[in-house]
Amino acid sequence: MTSKRALGFMSAAAALVVVVGLLTVTAVPVAAQSASTTLPNLRTAWGDPDLQGIWNQVFNTPLERPARYANREFFTDQERAEFDRQRAAVRSRDARAQTGTEKDVAGAYNAVFQSIRHYGKRTSLIVDPPDGKLPPLTPQAQARAKIERDFQLALLQATDTCKNKDRGAACAGWQYGPPSPKWDEVTPFYNTGRLNRHDGPEDGSLGDRCMSGNYPDLAGFRRIVQSPGGVTMFIDTQQGQGYQRNIVMNGSPHLPASMRQWWGDSRGHWEGNVLVVDVTNFSPKTNFMGSHENLHLVERYRRVDADTLEIAMTIDDPTVWTRPWTVKVELGKQDDNANRFYTEPRCFEGNYGLPSLLLGARSADLAYTEGRAPHPATRDNATCDGGENFDPLAVQ
């Protein structure tokens, strides 16, 4: 546990480089964003609409609309101020559990490593369906989700987390008991989360494997660079991790269906001042809210004003959702001179943490077989705690 905490702080130091870089950026004033309503004639030297820059989400907006705001698209200024006040009053990860407990060690980061945004005006990122809610899952998607959750919870059932009902809904609806026979079974799906087991690298989360980049990304920030006939985006997923998207703009068709990519195949074109990007050919290992190789995106990038970029994205997978749904995200432009943006991978989790987790798991296996320690399934290495994700809207 001590080495795991040390690794957490090593990783947190990497995160601090990125976070400090973000905090030194000149933020876009709220008043300046709302005051400008006219689309400027911003063009590249070769005449395309200019979307270039480093863009980041300015406000915190929930994906789905909270139930109590079912018929409202916007919050009042007073409500937003109250949300900010409530969240600022929470100690978050600065509140330690009893020193030396699993719950304490799970809170390896403290609040200094977290960027907190003010609440925005809109009650949800989802703009269609009009109620701001995700469409219902198909029976097929519900069945797959149950298989995944049952397997994850079976590996946790012998831990004190389940026994004491710690960490929120980590074991909700599951019965505490002895180590499950599933402990020795092959995972019946391609894992992208964190399992309470480290038989191999695939038992770790994507973050543990330095593969945290996933698309679509509704929270990360991105650098857009254009050239005549080309658009590319580097999407940062924090802690030095990220990935490059190349948007093909020459009118050629998508890749053959047999060729699959982690972030899909992006084909773009201009419709007036709007960049329209069609994304298909995702890998079966891709996992966006349960959607895999059948994921289909249509993105529309529009420069609202000098400091605001709007992305409207329609998300579709008929094997997962009963209808397509659309989100709208507004990004603020970071100052080109003040900003520092590092794309060099600095992922301690995959380079050092994951091999150590695998080594630690083998040591635990050996100690158990020699009668020196309890079954490894009784130790919780999967869940995380600290209240760092407290959101006033999530409890209303």
Q: Is the predicted pLDDT of residue 168 greater than 90, yes or no?
A: no
Give the type of residue at 158: A
Are residues 362 and 38 in contact, defined by beta-carbon separation less than 8 angstroms? no
Q: Which residues contact 38 (CB under 8 A, 6 or more apart)?
A: 305
| Dist CA 361 CA 271 (whole Å) | 54
**Domain-located, residue 154:** no
The answer as to whether 161 is a domain residue is no
Residue range 55-61: average pLDDT?
Answer: 88
| Count of structural domains within the chain | 1
Q: Quote the tokens at residue 232.
A: 């590319």
Taking the C-alpha atoms of residue 365 and residue 354, their distance in angstroms, rounded to an integer, is 17
Is 10 a residue whose pLDDT tops 60?
Answer: no
Query: 């809109």: which residue's tokens?
Result: 122
Q: Which domain holds residue 100?
A: 1-138+211-396
pLDDT of residue 349: 67
| CA-wise closest residue to 197 among 146, 148, 150, 152 | 152
The more confident residue out of 85 and 259 is 259
Whether residue 199 lies inside any domain: the answer is no
Instruction: Let me know if residue 204 belongs to a domain.
Output: no
Both tokens assigned to 382: 């999967």
Residue 41: inside a domain: yes
**Residue 60 included in any domain:** yes
Q: What's the mean pLDDT when you consider all of the chain?
A: 82
The confidence score (pLDDT) of residue 173 equals: 82
What band does 2 get if pLDDT is binned at 50, 70 and 90?
A: very low
Quick check: is 278 in a domain?
yes
Q: Does the pLDDT at position 74 exceed 90?
A: yes
pTM over 0.95: no
Token pair for 288:
């966006």
Is 191 a domain residue? no
